[in-house]
Amino acid sequence: MLSVGDTAPDFTVPIAGGEVYNDISSFTLSEALGDGPLVLAFIPAAFTSGCTTEMCTFRDSMHRFDALDAQVYGLSVDLPPALNIFIQQEGLNFPLLSDWRHEVIHDYGVVLPDMYGLFEVAKRSIFVLDSTGTVTYRWVEGDGKTDFGAAIDAVYDAVAETASS
């Protein structure tokens, strides 16, 4: 798993913009770097209760991240059209990245191998990257119930610190 100080692996995946079900283009991490801090929020699966709560907490906090010129992206192994419906259904105000080939979750070391004992997904985790792609913050969900408000507040603090460095 990536640690603070590591260089984040570059990747290219589909990005769901959320306008319509087929609002899909290509996203390359290295092309998005350089404009300020970047947040990658890995979630196990769209439409599940925990992931919906987490993404909606980010949605409701986006004004804070926007004020720091931070880019926020959710990332899951769901297919792009499903992510577009999820964005629309939940009114998300940031794009979602589709790691449908499961390459990014392996590169970042955040594989949850047995969701519902059936299939591999992303382990709930958040990385903050600086403009060069260096990991400045990492959070991985532990056991028990997550307080998403507190988790997003900690991510915001990390973004603010990254933005000021």
Which residues belong to the active site? Answer: 51
Q: Which of helix, strand or coil describes residue 46?
A: coil
Nearby residues of 6 by Cβ (< 8 Å), 6 or more positions away: 134, 135
Closest-CA residue to 94 (of 13, 15, 12): 15
β-bridge partners, 39:
72, 128
